[in-house]
Chains A and B, each alone.
Chain A
Amino acid sequence: SAVISQKPSRDICQRGTSLTIQCQVDSQVTMMFWYRQQPGQSLTLIATANQGSEATYESGFVIDKFPISRPNLTFSTLTVSNMSPEDSSIYLCSAGQGSEAFFGQGTRLTVV
């Protein structure tokens, strides 16, 4: 199984600022994804991070708000831009290895 390291593990941010979350996988993977988990809810897919090209966003998520980078097969970043309290969530990175998907420990973001 892939081991995924995500940082920061948590942060408290002021509204209007931006936070970049990093995701490092211990092996090369084809697929990387970013999910959001709002308080008390399940996970919702934000986007697929594509290596060498623009990310593919799901309905309701846009690049201006959630820019994503994926410079190589082991690393990706998600930025939460111009934050508001509604962005307070856990953000999780996922890597696909074959059919299985593995997750990082998540970043717990609180916007005040």
Chain B
Amino acid sequence: SQQGEEDPQALSIQEGENATMNCSYKTSINNLQWYRQNSGRGLVHLILIRSNEREKHSGRLRVTLDTSKKSSSLLITASRAADTASYFCATAAGTASKLTFGTGTRLQVTL
């Protein structure tokens, strides 16, 4: 069963705008990871945030984690058409790289 719920399910923005995706999960975690998937192919690892971290940055990405609310957010700043993809959060509880995935957000960035 899916552990995480993501919202929105779909998001459409214009190039240059920021995109925010949210993820909620149900149980205690060791870490939370965000992935991008283009056109139903393989997943690209974007960023990992550990349970004792609150915020992390990587280029145009900013991830926050609130373990008290069991939620995370992914912010993509200054979006580009190439950012069009599905984005998934995934949590690891016991085994660090054994993941439970959220439902995903489909992001469409238009010119």
Chain A interfacial positions (CB closer than 8 Å to B): 1, 6, 31, 33, 35, 37, 42-45, 48, 90, 92, 94-106, 108
Q: Is the CB of A33 within 8 A of B98?
A: yes
User: Would you call B95 and A105 a contact (CB within 8 A)?
Assistant: no
* Nearest CB of A to B32, in Å: 10
A102 partner residues in chain B, CB cutoff 8 A: 45
Q: B100 to chain A: which residues have CB within 8 Å?
A: 45
Residues of A within 8 A of B48 (CB): 99-100
Which chain B residues lie closer than 8 Å to A33 at the CB level?
97-99
Chain A contact residues: helix, strand, loop or mixed: strand
Assess the B43–A92 pair: CB atoms within 8 A: yes
Q: Which of A45, A48, A90, A101 has the most chain B CB within a 10 Å cutoff? A: A101
- Which residues of B (4-58) have their CB < 8 Å from a CB of A? 30-31, 33, 35, 40-45, 48, 50
Tell whether B81 is near chain A: CB-to-CB under 8 Å.
no
Known contacts A6-B42, A96-B98; 12 additional CB pairs below 8 A are: A42-B104, A45-B98, A48-B95, A92-B43, A94-B99, A96-B96, A100-B97, A101-B45, A101-B98, A103-B42, A105-B42, A108-B40
